[in-house]
Amino acid sequence: MKKIYLFLLLATISIASVQSQILDPVKWSTSIKKISETEYDLISKATIDKGWHLYSQVVPDNGPLPTVFTFEENNAYQAVGKVKESKGTTELDPVFDMVITFFSNTATFTKRIKLTGDKGTTIKGEVEFMVCDDTRCLPPAYVDLVFKIPAPEKSAETAIISENTDNTETTEVGIVTIEDTLVALTEKTEIVKDSVQSASETSKAAIKQTKKQENRGLWTIFVVAFLFGFTALLTPCVFPMIPMTVSFFTKQSKSRAAGIRNAIIYGIAIIVIYVFLGAIVTWFFGADALNALSTNVWFNFFFFLLLVIFALSFLGAFEIMLPNSWANKVDKQADRGGMIGIFFMALALAIVSFSCTGPIIGTLLVEAASKGGIAPFVGMFGFSLALAMPFALFAAFPGWMNSLPKSGGWLNTVKVFLGFLELALAFKFLSNADLVLQLHWLEREVFLAIWIAVFGALTLYLFGKFKLPHDSPLDHLSVGRLSLGLIVAAFTIYLIPGLWGAPLKLISGFPPPMHYSESPYGVGFTKMSGGSSTSTAEFPEGAHLGPHDILAFHDYETGLAYAKKIGKPVLIDFTGHACVNCRKMEERVWSEPKILKSLNQDIVLISLYVDDKRPLPEDEVYISEISGKKLKYIGQKWSEFQILKYKANAQPFYVLMDHNEQNLIDPVGYTPDIEEYYTWLQNGTGAFKK
């Protein structure tokens, strides 16, 4: 009978949550597994409703929030390694329109610990996660995890499983029956949920599109790496070695056929050496770990320092060289002749040219690492193919050598040019770290000012206004150098309007976004809708420029007080930084002239970000009415506010209300139809005027 009552209770709760639009698509349970007398695995299992996705611990930039586990420090145990996750699905996410690893139905996360004290200890943790279906995402959720290590008298084989809900004690295996019942109930109530949810399964066409996008990404890496390889050929360390190599094969080969064969072997050896380097990087870090490194704050800062060092090397401050003893030993092996000798000749090329190719290879590996997977392997193949082809072709056809330009000062100019590019690229990685930490040290204006300075200096260099170490005397400008200088000068001039808010689509993705700046239209100036300009000093306290320069507030009380002051209704916009459909509404619906006019003139906009990870001020910290825990972040405050007041937790969610905080019209969620949203907006504002 107890089970029947429990079943009915759970059914009531599930149906009620559906009807109130409070979605709870993920249930967490915990268990432990004994590995040895002192080692245990802490297992966290997520049961996910049909149509919803839980995301991996590693996600790309500008994607959803990752799943994050934290464990309370306890002298009774030590952590062993990181949290491992079960194999998810890596494909095109229809919400974020990017290739992401996510989990459907179930996901298992394992954390290994080593006991340092007595058994019988309790380990507490927390999981922070974000869940989406194919049309929307829920705000970040925080669930407590409890793991009880059995006391010595208990059987080591006993699995402890607990349902992590408030006021529920951890019990033994019997709770599995309840969990199974809940899963079964979830399946039985799908018909009810479908009445308010618009979840849909990923189609085969989407999967095919995913594969195309993955292949396109690898092809991009290959093409970029191929161009890097040709660029490396034009450096002072590599270009002069072409005639030397051709001369060697011409003298050593007894026939033309033998010369062509040896040249092909030499080219293949170059490819094998560099591809092996890419394979080592992929194997050492792991295909998935590379992406994790590229999105880590400290590794972005490390990449920044690394590229600055590479840039200074190219500019002539110093040379990055491998030990001379390596080159000497390899040269001796190259004298052995045959295929082994040819291989060591290729290795000698890689070592001797490292002072020029090293920074290029390093930059390439950094960029490839940001793609994850086998990108470093593919990148090294493209680089080595471009590097090997000229050596092999000129060795096979020595007569082509006559068409090559002579070595000279222009080679160092290429090297310096690459140094300036390395320096500009370095600040992209510093910007990534700054964006994650939200330090606002490298805002859009500062980033663009640095790039203008870098490319402006490059322009002056190409026009011969100053020289760097290792530069030859410049009596006149060649046509090629003048043309390149004009292109760089034009690009520099193109960047300048960005300081006053120009979008700069040519470099989209490199500078910080428009909103991450002192002012979208330059310090002390903002462009409001309709072409008028207003000083930021005229803004009401607490206001800021929202999408399309709509005056908006981030604080509920401040925005409501301003609405009462000017006599306009309030539009509450429950949104999120990682909410893609929120951005779609802003870009496609709010940008419609008649809707934009209404948002600017008829309402006061209050945008509440439910995934705002900034900590709450100490005097505003309070205990959640829902979870009974302290709320740590601003986003949690607004998420709880939405749930308690409007019985909903999905975004976007729009509420039109009067000064008494009463709804003027029923709230709406994602409404991509422009006419439908405009009608809703007009009906709400019209009700306020009556």
Three-state DSSP string of 196-210: CCCCCCCCHHHHHHH
Q: Say whether pLDDT at 404 is over 90.
A: no
Q: Which amino acid is at 553?
A: F
CA distance 130 to 211: 25
Compute the mean pLDDT over every residue in the chain, rounded to the nearest whole number. Answer: 74
> Which pLDDT value is given to residue 401?
65
Q: pLDDT digits over 35-48, tens only?
A: 888 888 899 999 99
Contacts of 274 (CB under 8 A, 6+ apart): 350, 361, 380, 381, 383, 384, 387
What does the angle CA 445 – CA 449 – CA 455 come to, to the nearest 5 degrees?
Answer: 145
Q: pLDDT digits over 272-310, tens only?
A: 887 887 677 666 655 444 444 555 677 778 778 877 887
> Which pLDDT value is given to residue 536?
45
> Which pLDDT value is given to residue 572?
94
CA distance 334 to 294: 38
Kindly state the average pLDDT of the residues 591-610. 90
Q: pLDDT digits over 610-648, tens only?
A: 878 788 888 777 887 877 777 888 888 888 888 888 888
Q: How many CB atoms lie within 10 A of CB 57?
A: 18
Q: What is the pTM of this model?
A: 0.46
> Which pLDDT value is given to residue 659?
93
Q: Say whether pLDDT at 670 is over 50.
A: yes
> Which pLDDT value is given to residue 14?
38
Q: pLDDT digits over 363-394, tens only?
A: 676 666 555 566 777 888 888 888 888 877 77
Residue 134 to residues 200, 223, 652, Cα–Cα distance (Å): 6, 33, 14
Q: Which amino acid is at 568?
A: K
Instruction: Name the nearest CA neighbour of 129 among 53, 203, 212, 182.
Output: 53
Task: Say if strands 604-609 and 570-575 run parallel, antiparallel, or are unpaired.
Answer: parallel
Q: Say whether pLDDT at 453 is over 70.
A: yes
State the pLDDT confidence band at 134, using cuts at 50, 70 and 90: low
> Which pLDDT value is given to residue 689?
85
Q: How many CB atoms lie within 10 A of CB 315?
A: 19
If you average pLDDT over each of 142-151, 156-165, 665-674, which comes out highest? Answer: 665-674
> Which pLDDT value is given to residue 328?
63
In percent, the amount of the chain with pLDDT more than 70 equals 66
Whether 490 contacts 456, CB under 8 Å? no
Kindly state the average pLDDT of the residues 250-258. 66
Sheet of 89-93: strand order equals 89-93, 98-103, 53-55, 131-132
- The tokens describing 246, both together, are 């051709």
| Least confident span in 174-188, 255-269, 419-433 | 174-188
DSSP annotation of 589:
I
Query: Does residue 135 or residue 39 have the better pLDDT?
Result: 39
Whether 590 contacts 529, CB under 8 Å? no
> Which pLDDT value is given to residue 408?
58
Task: Say if strands 141-148 and 122-129 run parallel, antiparallel, or are unpaired.
Answer: antiparallel
Give Cα 131 to chain centroid, integer Å: 17
In percent, the amount of the chain with pLDDT more than 90 equals 14
Q: Say whether pLDDT at 258 is over 70.
A: yes
| Least confident span in 143-147, 249-253, 551-555 | 249-253
Kindly state the average pLDDT of the residues 168-181. 35
Q: How many CB atoms lie within 10 A of CB 517?
A: 22
Q: Say whether pLDDT at 163 is over 70.
A: no
In the chain the domains, ranked by start, together with CATH numbers, are 25-179 (2.60.40.1250), 210-408 (no CATH), 443-525 (no CATH), 535-689 (3.40.30.10)
> Which pLDDT value is given to residue 144?
86
Whether 587 contacts 595, CB under 8 Å? no
Query: Does residue 232 or residue 643 have the better pLDDT?
Result: 643
Sheet of 26-34: strand order equals 77-85, 106-115, 39-48, 26-34, 162-163
> Which pLDDT value is given to residue 682?
92
